[in-house]
Amino acid sequence: MSAQRGRRIAGGDTRAEILVAARAMFGESGYTATTLRGVAHRAGVDPALILHHFGSKEVLFRNATHVSFDPAAIAAIIGSRDGGSPGERLCRYFLGLWEDGVTREPLLAMLRSALTHEAAAESLREFLSEALVGRVAMVLDTADAALRATLVGSQLIGLAMARYVLRIEPLASADPATVAAWIAPTLERYLTA
């Protein structure tokens, strides 16, 4: 029952389990409130092991929240011609990211930490500015493209906050399709006013 000293018998990918636990806890509590001890406990592991694998809490966080989003995908989605207007496509893509349990957790962690932890904020800012704004601006090709893209970002952040973080009803439990139907026109207007 009690933990044994030394290397475990092969089989489990402990490092990966630590990342899973870390993602969950960063997503629930944000960077500061998440403790190495808490993550370790959740992963069924000694706290020191986390530092052995990742050197510091900061690095752990980066590894846990490194959501492998594809910046090019966004441009493709907006630029493509399948399924409705660009606004609708972008909206569905965004909602899809949050509805999928796999991608939701790193996003939650990112967003929850962004308000407290400067590095996370920088990361999110970069993501929005570069990936979203940059790509959108390229596709749009108007003078105020940057502002337009930021407005799109603001609505998307607000949606994520209200629906997935604060869980305000009835938005939180509403059907994704319903939400998309309401939000998409807003995005569309921001993109092509």
Partner DNA sequence: GATGGAATTCACCACACGGTGAATTATAGA
Partner DNA sequence: TCTATAATTCACCGTGTGGTGAATTCCATC
The yes or no reply on residue 154 touching its own copies (CB under 8 A) is: yes
Identify the residue whose tokens are 């959108």.
Answer: 136
Q: Are 59 and 67 in contact (CB under 8 A)?
A: no
Residue list 8-27, contact with DNA (CB under 7 A): 8-10, 12, 14-15
157-166: long-range contacts, CB 8 A cutoff, minimum separation 24: 157/111, 157/128, 159/94, 159/183, 160/98, 160/107, 160/111, 161/111, 163/98, 164/98, 164/104, 164/108, 165/108, 165/111, 165/112
How far apart are the C-alpha atoms of 32 and 113, rounded to whole Å? 8
Residue among 29, 55, 134, 184 that touches its own copies (CB under 8 A): 29
Find how far residue 75's CA is from the centre of its chain.
18
Q: What mask, x for binding DNA by CB under 7 A, covers residues 38 to 67?
A: x-----xxxxxx-xxx-xxxx---------
Minimum CB distance to DNA, residue 19 (Å): 12
Residue among 163, 180, 184, 191 that touches its own copies (CB under 8 A): 163
Identify the helix (H) or strand (E) that includes residue 90: helix 86-99
The yes or no reply on residue 114 touching its own copies (CB under 8 A) is: yes
The yes or no reply on residue 51 touching its own copies (CB under 8 A) is: no
Instruction: Please report, as ranges, the residues that interact with DNA according to CB under 7 A.
Output: 2-10, 12, 14-15, 34-38, 44-49, 51-53, 55-58
Instruction: Please report, as ranges, the residues that interact with its own copies according to CB under 8 A.
Output: 29-30, 32-33, 111-112, 114-116, 121, 124-125, 128-129, 133, 146-147, 150-151, 153-159, 161-163, 165-171, 174, 178, 182-183, 185-186, 189-190, 193
